[in-house]
Copies of this chain bind each other. A is one copy, B any other.
């Protein structure tokens, strides 16, 4: 179990999403040790194509000045997909802390190439959540990452 309170917040978001019948991925945008926004994937709950964990956390953080994003850290339970990577790059978020990248490897190479610090925690809880979910809901998972079913 993680002792990082921000990854823990992201995990709680992921669990809340799963309890709602959704996809268990959560995230938290952190600035100066304070969570500005925390969120989770809402594809099922909102019928949304763009509310992934990270984009939902950004949306819930509300409109922030560029200087805030540029001094923030994005915590996420899962390696960020292309869209969430693009959102991180758009706002110049300099650091991303990732729960795990074993069940899905997103655009970590692109983040690193653009100078974003990428930390992968290889967290057992995050791996277990996604492993269980992908086995239970393979079609829903494929839809979320744009893969043919």
A residues neighboring B (CB under 8 Å): 43, 47-50, 55, 58-59, 61-67, 69-70, 81-87, 89-92, 107, 142-143, 145-149
Report B-chain residues with C-beta under 8 Å of the C-beta of A83.
55, 83, 86-87, 89-90
- B65, B84, B85, B86: the one within 8 Å of A149 (CB): B65
Report B-chain residues with C-beta under 8 Å of the C-beta of A82.
85-87, 89-90
Identity of the chain B residue whose Cβ is nearest the Cβ of A114 in the assembled complex: B82
- B49, B66, B69, B148: the one within 8 Å of A64 (CB): B49
B48 touches A149 (CB 8 A): no
B107 touches A69 (CB 8 A): no
Q: In the complex, what distance in Å separates the CA atom of A83 from the CA atom of B54?
A: 11
- B62, B81, B84, B89: the one within 8 Å of A49 (CB): B62
Report B-chain residues with C-beta under 8 Å of the C-beta of A59.
48-50
- B63, B70, B87, B92: the one within 8 Å of A86 (CB): B87
Report B-chain residues with C-beta under 8 Å of the C-beta of A147.
66
- B84, B86, B143: the one within 8 Å of A107 (CB): B86
Shortest distance from the beta carbon of A14 to any chain B beta carbon, whole Å: 19
B47 touches A62 (CB 8 A): yes
Q: In the complex, what distance in Å separates the CA atom of A9 from the CA atom of B91?
A: 28
